[in-house]
Amino acid sequence: MAVMKRQLATLVSVVDECETVKTMEFELSEAVAPKPGQCGTFFLLKPDGTFGEGRVYSLSSAPVEGNRISITFRITPNFPTKLLTLGVGAKVGFFGPYGTFVYNDAAERVVFFGGGVGAAPLLSMIKHVREKKLPAKMIFMHTNKSVQVSPFLDYFKQLSSENRDFKYVLDVTRPAESSPWDGLKEEGHLTEEIVKKHVSDAPLLNYYICGPPAYTHGVFTILKGLGVTDDKIKFEQW
C-alpha cells in the first residue's frame, strides 16, 4: 500500500507535449510508491514556505521512477498558469499518492479510453505494464480535438510500432482543423461503430476510462451497449 506523504518537491524539467499540454517532472524529498493511475495534490508555496493553493493531478510517470514523479496538464488560466511561472529548481508542496483508479496487474486484455490530457494516468499504467513486462494486450483509444493538441503522440506511435501487443488509435473530433497524421486515426466523436472496429470480444476485456465527465459518460454508455458489465470498467473524471 502506498504511503501518503506531505513533503517538498523540486521542479526538475518542463516538457512541451503538444501545443497546449505540458509535462512537469519533480524530484521528491522522500521517495513514494504510487500505484499506476494514482494522483497527488500539488501546492504552491507561500512566501513563508508553507503550503498554499493546491490542485490534484494524476501522475503520468511510471511507479518505478522512485523519487521522480511527473504530471501532465493542459495550459489553462489560474493554477496551471501559476505552475508554469516556476523555474527549474523551484519548490512546490506535494501530498500523496492516493486514489482508487489503479491498474489491475492480472488483466490480460485491456482497452484504455482517454479524453485529451485524461491520457496522463493511462500513460502511467501503460509504462507500468512495460516496466513489469506484464503479458497484457493493450488498445488505447485517445480522443482529441486535433493532432496538434494530442499529447504523447510520438511515444505512443513508437510503442505501437515496437510492440505488437499495443495498438494506438487517435480519434480526432475536429478533423477540418487537424494536421495530417500517418498512424491509425478515426474522425468524429466516438461511437459504438468506431469502437467495434478496433475492439473485439468487448464483454471479455477490461476497461480504463479517463477524461471530462461528458467523455467518460459517453464511453461508458458505448461499452454498456456492447454488453460490458460494470465490474469490467474503471473510470476517473476531472
What pLDDT score was predicted for residue 36?
Answer: 97
Residue 220 lies in a domain: yes
Coil, strand or helix at 13: strand
Q: What is the CATH number of the domain that holds 71?
A: 2.40.30.10
Do 67 and 148 lie in a common domain? Answer: no
Residues 38-92 have pLDDT tens digits of 999 999 999 999 999 999 999 999 987 679 999 999 999 889 899 999 999 999 9
Count of domains observed in the chain: 2
pLDDT of residue 176: 95
For residue 109, the cross-strand partners are 137
Collect the ranges in the chain with pLDDT lower than 70: 1-3, 65
Q: Determine, yes or no, domain membership for 64.
A: yes
What whole-number distance in Å separates Cα of residue 67 and Cα of residue 210? 25
Is the Cβ–Cβ distance between 72 and 123 less than 8 Å? yes
Domain-ending residue, one of 72, 98, 124: 98
Domain shared by 214 and 124, yes or no: yes
Identify whether residues 85 and 136 lie together within a single domain: no
| pLDDT at position 3 | 64
Domain of 168? 109-237
- DSSP three-state, residue 81: helix
Q: Please tell me the pTM assigned to this model.
A: 0.95
> Residue 223's pLDDT is what?
98
* Together in a domain, 14 and 90: yes
pLDDT at 27: 97
Handedness of CA 195, 201, 202, 206 (dihedral sign): negative
Q: What is the CATH number of the domain that holds 210?
A: 3.40.50.80
Q: Among the three residues 65, 98, 131, which one is the final residue of a domain in this structure?
A: 98
Q: CB under 8 Å to 167, separation ≥6 — which residues?
A: 138, 139, 140, 160, 184, 198
On whether residue 104 sits in a domain, the answer given is no
Q: Please give the pLDDT value at position 2.
A: 53
